[in-house]
Each structure stands twice: as structure tokens, then as C-alpha cells.
Chain A
Amino acid sequence: MARKHQAKITVAAAGVCLSVLLAGAVALGQERPAAEAPPAMPAPFSRDCRVPNNAVIAESPLPNVAAALQKRKVIRILAIGAAAMTGRRGAYIEHIERILEQAVKGLDVIVVNRGISGELAADAARRIKIEVALTEPDLVLWQVGTNDALTYVPIDELRDTIVETIRWLKDHKVDVVLVGLQFVHRRAQDDNYRTVRELIRSIGQQENVVVVRRSEAMRLITQAAGSGGGLFPEEFARTEAGYACLAEYVARAIALGAFGRGLRDQPGPSRVPGQPAPAPQQ
């Protein structure tokens, strides 16, 4: 019960932060281009999730989400991909829905969860096209790479699959947010894991799509919390925090992507203790 209460507070806090961010952005979007005069905004992440913004989110515009927001105040998000769609406090996509809806009054966020656990990117890619046809989303939230890393799918094959799917989605006026791999101590030592993680990052840059770097976020949260190693029970706590924060990062990525450079150029969130200041945006 206490956890639920804590979760609600976390979501509410994130919602308040993002509401300032988004309210300003919507107002700007109605009156003039968002990029012209960014609104004043507080640190958008709740305390537990404060990491350098550019360390966890590779930002890119989400023009279709922005258009949907302005036209009908409804965003349809299709959540698809692999594992880790859930946590003790419910699915992280539900957090995203709540954070975004709390952020903008009257905004209706419809999340369609079609995540199939254990699914490889190639299978997910085929299904994305079908689900896009059935659900007609503005945004696809694609958690990708974990199962391909675990099953050692050839990197070139994985790259082709992801790139081809991103381009297909763009052609069909659907934005994409890629959610990268989960952070794991031992796996971090694995070459294949690192290669897949880097691949997703490079695809994000090459294709100009938003990437939420989950593994980096978890690493920073872990360092900030100063918790020790071992699988239990710290790992569960970290994973819990990771899910909650992941929702905030994705929500922020959506907000930034939808409202452009103006918001992105705002001062980032608070620094993580012991971490260097975030590098300037490119």
C-alpha cells in the first residue's frame, strides 16, 4: 500500500513538473512556433529520477504527435516490443499515460499495449505494421534489443530490421520512440550487449528518432543511490525505480519531441550527485 502511495506521489510530482513544461508548450504552440520562446520550466524529473537529460534521452522531433496534440488533443501511443513492460506499480506505459494526462488538462492519451515478451525485433517489426493498421497510432513506443541481445541475433540483421521499420513508420506518418536495453551489471560486460546498445543509439542518431537510453538511466540512478551490487533485493528496488523513472523519461522525450528545440534548450534537470555536468547539446 505504501508503495502504491509512493508511486502516486511520484507520478503526481512528475505530472506537475511536466504540466508546467507542456502547458507552456501548448500555449506556445497555439500562438507561435514552439522553438521561438521557450517557457520557464522547473526540473522535469522527480527527485529519484534526476539524471543528466542528454544522458538518457536522445531527442528528436515528434511532428506527428505535435500535430495530433494541436488538432485533437488526443495522442494514440502503440507500445510494442519485448519484455519489461511491467513493474510492481503497474506497467510503465500506464505511468506515461498518467504523467502526460496530468501535464496537459484535457489531453487524452490512449496507450495501446501490444508488447509481447520474448519477441525478437524481426517479429515485432512484422507485427508493428499490422498493429499500426489496426490501431492507427500517432506514436510507436518500441522497446527493442533486449531479446535480440540475449539470443545473439546478428547485428547487421538487427540494424536492417530496426531501420527498415523506422522508415516505414515515418512514411506512414507515425513517430517512433525507441526504448533501449535494460541495464545489467554482468551484461554490461558482454560485448554483444554493448554492441546492441550502441547500435540502438547510432540508429537513433542516423534516423533522427528519439531514443530513451534505459541502461544509461539505470546506471546513473544506481550510482546516485549508491547501492551495492547483487541481484536481491537491491536489484528489485533499482528495477522498480527504473520503471518509474523510465516512464518519466519517455514522457519527457515525448514532450520534447512534440514541442521542439525551445524546450530542449532549457536548463536540464538537476545533476546527479557525483556526476559531471551534462555536456552541451549538439
Chain B
Amino acid sequence: MAREPNAVDFWRGYALIAIFINHIPGIYYTKFTHAYFSVSDSADLFVFLAGWSVRLLAGTGPRRQSTGYLVLRVGGRALTLYAAQIMITMIAIALLAGAAILRDNPLLLEWHNASAVFHDPVHAHIGLVLLTHHLGYFDILPLYVALMLMATVIVVIDRTIPSWLLPLSFALYLTVLVTQFNLPSWPVEGQWFFNPLAWQLIFVLGFVLAKPEGIGDFVRRNIVVIRWISLPIVVFFLLVVWFDWWHDPTKAPQPRLFFILSKTYLTPIRLIQFLALVALFSVAFPYIKRAVPPVVSFCSLLGRNSLYVFCMGSLLSLTGQIIRSIYRGDLVVDTILVVAGIAIMAFTAWLPEWRESIRQKSRSQQPASA
């Protein structure tokens, strides 16, 4: 039986839909995702919930899992994510190549950092396997793989010196902001779009806030006050985004990453706005569930099967971009793309649950037939 709709699955499902839409640049429906009004976007939510889920996996009380089990689980998850990244990258390359042949348009071969794969395949394939070469918009899973590998250490620290986990994570984050250190990309000289050494903080925050004790307990006890503090922060950044009130980043004092907005480094402005957004919207789930239960069920279905849906969503986004490049994006094309895309994502989520239910049914029927 699939688990009942819950806040984590619901918000993760929402994040998956938003990522799918936001990864089709120029599409009309971007205006209906929170990225349009917010400093942070669904990537932050996705990573935060990933940390939260790892904490839930760890269990509490009698359901508490052993450290060895946890290390193997998150390490195994990293491997699964890695395989998923390789698979969708290969399909994306084939999509671009197919579209280029079909349209007789080599421009598509250069799209999304695919150029190196076609023009420098010897090096690029090594880069793809080492995760040092990412296609454009296919760069979240490498971050996720890196975070899951880090999670093998995170769970050990949490079990041995739990009070050190957040300070250590924060210290690493600050070091990265000061030094501007990032993982290099190769063979294309550059750096990772999502710096895992910075983004680990939001993952760890998800992890520690999901805990029933410590900072998680503190936040739950003071959530009303925190929401009141969060409200003006969210409104302020809404106005900043809406009226483009950004200050000149060259005027920011050193070290500048502390004072400017950067997605790559998950800079403090972005992090603070995201945490405020989470605090504020954490109140919303019960109301949404009461008001529109089908929407909650639908998003939770996507969220329960997030890896499959994410993979399919990434490929659908690319397909959407190719289609828009051929037929021009207007409201009709964009509507068809979004409706069809979300429907396919839903089917992708439903299929494994249906297979599991069939398996369970046949298992329950076995003793009767024996």
C-alpha cells in the first residue's frame, strides 16, 4: 500500500512540477511557479526535503535504524541516483541528436553543453561518467549524488557527535563563501552550477529540522514566533524581486558572496529567504489538504515516486524546449506541453505503485492457492 498523502510528499510533488516548468525557459506557465516571485526556487525545496527524508529514514525510538544500515542505505541511494543521472543524460543526448538530424539543425548539437559530447566525445564521456560534465538543466542530480555521498558522513556524525553536525556544516559553508571554492567541471573548463559544498547546508538543515529534538524541537516550539519573523522577510524579498530592487553587487563589501545573490553558492540572501518561506508555508498543508484533497493526493503521488518523476520531468523539459524551438512557444503550445508533461509525470508515478500493488496482491493470493 502506498503511504497516505503527507506534507513532505506533497511539497516534493509540487517541487517536481515546478522544476519541470521552470526548466523550459520562456514558457508562459513559469509565472505560476513560486520562482517567479521568490529569490529561492524549487531546487532549494527539493534539496531541503531530501535532507528531511534522510532523517525520517534514520527513524526514532524502536524504529531507529543502525548507523551501518543508514550508511548503506544512503550510499546505495547515491548509486541509484548516479545510475539515473547517467541514463537521463544519455537519453537527453539522443534527444538532441535526433532533433538535430530531424531538423537538419546542428545548433541543437551545441545546446545545453552537449557540444563537448559530440565534438570531443573521448574526454566528454569520461567527464559524464565522473560527473564533471553536466548538460544544462541536468545538473541537479549530480548535486543530489554528491549530497547522498556526503550523507554517509552526515549520518555517522549525527550518531556520534550530533551537536557538531550543524556547526560543521555551517563552517564548511562559510569557508566556501569566503574562498569561492567550487568543484571544477571537465573537459569544459568551469565549475559546478550547484556547488555541493555550499548546498550541503540546506540538506543538513532539512536533516536537523526533521529531528524531534535539538533545533528541530526548538523550531516546532517557537514556530508561531518564527512565522511572524518570516512574514516580513518573505514580503520584503517579494517586493525586491517584483520591483527589481537589487543593489549593485559590485558595491557589496568583501567577501562579496555574503551579500549578493548566487544560486551556485546558495548565498545567505537566498538561504534566509528560503527558510522564511518554509516557516511561513509550513502552516499551509493542512488547509490545502482540507480545501483541495485531489490536488494533495496528486502531488503526493508524484512526491512518493520522486526519482522516477524527476527523471521523466527532466526529459520532458528538454523535449518541451525542442518542441518550442520548432513550433514557437505560444499559449496553446505551452498549455499542451504543460498538460501533457504533467500527465506523463503522473503516469510515471502511478506505474511503479500499480506494479507494487499487483505484486502485493499476487503475494497475498499465494497461500490461498497453495
Contacts and interface: CB of A to CB of B under 8 A. Distances in A.
A117 B135 contact: yes
B107 A184 contact: yes
Given A151-B26, A151-B329, A152-B329, A88 B120 contact: yes
Top 5 A-B residue pairs of the complex, sorted by shortest distance between their CB atoms: A118-B136, A133-B249, A117-B113, A117-B136, A84-B110
Contacts of B187: 86, 90
Interface in A83-141: 83-91, 93-94, 111, 113-120, 123, 129-130, 132-134
Contacts of A153: 26
Nearest to B106: A235
A271 interface: no
Interface in B204-263: 248-250, 252, 256-257, 260-262
B101 A118 contact: no
18 contacts: A84-B110, A85-B113, A86-B116, A113-B189, A116-B193, A117-B110, A117-B136, A118-B113, A119-B136, A130-B249, A130-B261, A150-B111, A151-B26, A152-B26, A231-B104, A231-B105, A239-B109, A243-B119
Contact of B325 (A88, A132, A151, A240): A151
A240 B119 contact: yes
Contact of B188 (A86, A119, A134, A152): A86
Interface string A172-203: 10000000001011110000100000000000
Contacts of B119: 86-88, 236, 239-240, 243
Nearest to A83: B110
| Most A-side CB within 10 Å, residue of B103, B105, B137, B260 | B105
A270 interface: no
Interface residues of A, number: 46
A48 B87 CA distance: 39
Contacts of B250: 129, 132-133, 172
B125 interface: no
A120 B189 contact: no
B167 interface: no
B273 interface: no
A114 B190 contact: yes
B73 interface: no
A19 interface: no
Contact of A86 (B106, B115, B191): B115
A281 B357 CA distance: 75
A129 B249 contact: yes
Contacts of A192: 328
Given A84-B115, A134-B249, A152-B26, 12 more contacts: A83-B136, A113-B188, A116-B193, A117-B112, A120-B26, A133-B250, A147-B111, A150-B321, A172-B250, A182-B107, A184-B106, A231-B101
B118 interface: yes
Interface residues of B, number: 44
A60 interface: no
A129 B261 CA distance: 10
Given A152-B328, A186-B104, A116 B136 contact: yes
A64 interface: no
A116 B194 CA distance: 12
Contacts of A236: 118-119
A150 B190 CA distance: 24
A87 B120 contact: yes
B317 to A, nearest CB: 10
A118 B64 CA distance: 44
Contact of A184 (B101, B105, B113, B116): B105
B180 interface: yes
Nearest to A120: B25
A219 to B, nearest CB: 13
B118 A115 contact: no
B176 interface: no
B100 interface: yes
A165 interface: no
A53 interface: no
Contacts of B180: 134
A132 B329 CA distance: 32
A231 B114 CA distance: 16
A119 B100 CA distance: 19
A87 B25 contact: no
B324 interface: yes
Given A151-B329, A152-B324, A134 B257 contact: yes
A113 B107 contact: no
A10 interface: no
Given A116-B136, A150-B325, A187 B118 contact: no
B283 to A, nearest CB: 31
A230 B112 CA distance: 22
A118 B26 contact: no
A89 B116 CA distance: 9
Contacts of B107: 146, 150, 182, 184, 187
